[in-house]
Structure 1
Amino acid sequence: MLVMKRIWSFCLLFFFLSCGGEAIAGELSQRLANFPQWEKLTSVQPASGDLVYPKWMAGTWKVTSTLVDLAAPLAPIVTPGFEGNRRQLNQPVSFLVRFVKEQPSIAGLKVFPQRDYKSPILVADRAFNSLNLARAYLGDEAVLLVKVDPDSPNRQITFLRSSRQLVSIVTARATETTLDSKFVTTEVFQQLFKGGSRPYLNSVESTTAYHKLSTSNPAIEADQVTAVYLSPQDPDYFKAGSRPVALYRYRLEFFPQELLTTPKE
């Protein structure tokens, strides 16, 4: 049970490092400001291609993630491990991530035909980032491998000990750039945990506002809210409707790393 709760906690952060359609101006930022008053986002578009980040996020970073608040708007309807996650409040967790340049995909061309695709785009190194994140939360021995679908950056599998797997699929996303130069993203994804007594499926939305700072320690900060929705298989699904049953707010700090470090295989 303890292992399952730790896996659940890791799942909450899984896609903050994973562009799509533009959101209505200011809508994503307003959602963050409205925490914990949250409704399911309606302006996202189907995910196609990869999530494109601004140039100032290029490179390798040490990220410190801290859970600063959590809420259960529909209590006593909650997610597994919600109460246990209170122990993680104000407990920082650190891991390495990197953002790399690559040529845009054909799918990306369809989504953004107005862009100049002679230049490479900046994307997350998903396998590297997800493996480091998973091992930071679960331990080096608990996580075997992370594989990204070669045909779609929006689908990946985390292989865990005891033949357990976490399958994560980004289904929709939106982005916006605010007047104060914050880069805000929302991704909606389905996650399926396999290997327990029965598969567990749910829907998660992660909204993050990245802000470049004038300092180097940290150089970037981010405000993130992860909202968890029940799957149609859950007996409380119709009670919850379009509202999340758990909300988690994180503070992310990015510290630049000069040396490129490869995770242990």
Structure 2
Amino acid sequence: MTKKLILTIFLIFSCLWGWTNYAVAGELSERLANFPQWEKLTSVKPANGDLIYPQWMAGTWEVKSTLVDLAAPLAPDVVTPGFEGNREQLNQPISFLVRFMPESKINSGLKSLIQTNNNSPIIVADRAFNSLNLARAYLGDAAVLAVKVDPDSPNRQITFLNSERQLVSLVTARATETTADDKFITTEVFQQLFKGGSRPYLNSVESTTAYHQLSTQNPAIEADQVTAVYLSSQDPDYFKAGSQPVALYRYRLEFYPQE
């Protein structure tokens, strides 16, 4: 149960997380097209400030997230905790609320780390709101007590779970790309530490998401997302895995506007 919970939590917080660092043209979209062939991304840059989203993502949304595919590239030699159990989530949609807002409303009273060259509001994710709703949708309200974002850095947050357990998440690197057909693609790399079990559990998660604005309203945005799980250097199988992920999860996200 604990191992399955650990992996589920890691996947949850890769789903909706800057100054923007642009990837080599077409690199992120090419990776999505090549799924499940996947190697660790090398063109990401250190994460500074928050991730800026397009203006058309501003607002509150009901998101329907559906796991549509998964793979364990190194199985049966290396398989992450809970991987087989996550097959039960295939094609089972989960719904939750998220919101993207002007950066000044979320970080009011704090000095902004982001500057732009025009007067358009800077749209960022409400990380605490989004992560709390997402975690409770997967784990239940009683399992997730609170989510707190570091007031000095939007890239660090702590999720407080029942039984005195915690998940510490740190965004260490990111890249973005805008394609010719106006898809907005992001990649963020997380270091995540689960505390409260018999021993701390650490790994690295890379989340790549392609958002696309639709001409309809229900849904108004769709997204293709791949979450790749890598072993930490402390894992005994780290050198066996090399630059390959030990688990891949592909999701379809649909965004429905909320008044």
For residue 108 of structure 1, what is the aligned residue in structure 2? Answer: 114
CA contact (8 A) 1:6 1:137 kept: no
CA contact (8 A) 1:13 1:226 kept: no
For residue 52 of structure 2, what is the aligned residue in structure 1? Answer: 52
1:14-29 mapped onto 2 (5 Å cutoff): 14-19=13-18, 20-29=20-29
Q: Secondary structure of 2:69's partner?
A: strand
Kindly state the Cα deviation for residue 5 of structure 1 after the two structures are TM-superposed: 1.3
For residue 262 of structure 1, what is the aligned residue in structure 2? Answer: none
For residue 139 of structure 2, what is the aligned residue in structure 1? Answer: 138
CA contact (8 A) 2:60 2:99 kept: yes
Question: 1:73–1:4: structure 2 CA closer, same or farther, 3 Å change rule?
Answer: closer
Aligned equivalents of 1:127, 1:237: Cα separation in 2:
31
For residue 197 of structure 2, what is the aligned residue in structure 1? Answer: 196
Q: Give ranges in structure 1 of 5+ residues lacking alignment.
A: 110-114, 259-265
For residue 69 of structure 2, what is the aligned residue in structure 1? Answer: 69
CA contact (8 A) 1:170 1:189 kept: yes
Kindly state the Cα deviation for residue 119 of structure 1 after the two structures are TM-superposed: 3.9
Aligned equivalents of 1:48, 1:233: Cα separation in 2:
26
Kindly state the Cα deviation for residue 118 of structure 1 after the two structures are TM-superposed: 4.5
Aligned equivalents of 1:249, 1:134: Cα separation in 2:
18
Aligned equivalents of 1:85, 1:132: Cα separation in 2:
20
For residue 263 of structure 1, what is the aligned residue in structure 2? Answer: none
Aligned equivalents of 1:194, 1:238: Cα separation in 2:
24
Q: Secondary structure of 1:108's partner?
A: coil
For residue 261 of structure 1, what is the aligned residue in structure 2? Answer: none
Aligned equivalents of 1:47, 1:108: Cα separation in 2:
12
Kindly state the Cα deviation for residue 9 of structure 1 after the two structures are TM-superposed: 1.6
For residue 181 of structure 2, what is the aligned residue in structure 1? Answer: 180
For residue 250 of structure 2, what is the aligned residue in structure 1? Answer: 249
Per-residue CA deviation, residues 25-44 of structure 1 (Å, 9 max, x unaligned), is 01000000000000000110
For residue 33 of structure 2, what is the aligned residue in structure 1? Answer: 33
Q: Secondary structure of 2:61's partner?
A: strand
RMSD: 1.3
TM-score (norm 2): 0.94
Aligned equivalents of 1:193, 1:86: Cα separation in 2:
22
Q: Give 1:107's aligned amino acid.
A: L
Aligned equivalents of 1:183, 1:16: Cα separation in 2:
15
Kindly state the Cα deviation for residue 18 of structure 1 after the two structures are TM-superposed: 1.6
Q: Secondary structure of 2:40's partner?
A: coil
Q: Give 1:245's aligned amino acid.
A: V
Q: Say whether residues 1:153 and 2:154 are aligned partners.
A: yes
CA contact (8 A) 1:7 1:138 kept: no
CA contact (8 A) 1:48 1:108 kept: no
Alignment length (residue pairs): 252
After TM superposition, the runs of 4+ consecutive aligned structure 1 residues lying more than 6 A away are none
CA contact (8 A) 2:214 2:222 kept: yes
Calculate percent identity across the aligned residue pairs.
Answer: 79
TM-score (norm 1): 0.92
Kindly state the Cα deviation for residue 52 of structure 1 after the two structures are TM-superposed: 0.4
Aligned equivalents of 2:82, 2:149: Cα separation in 1:
27
Aligned equivalents of 1:117, 1:149: Cα separation in 2:
28
Q: Secondary structure of 2:171's partner?
A: strand
Per-residue CA deviation, residues 8-60 of structure 1 (Å, 9 max, x unaligned), is 22321313322421000010000000000000001100000000000000000
Aligned equivalents of 1:223, 1:90: Cα separation in 2:
14
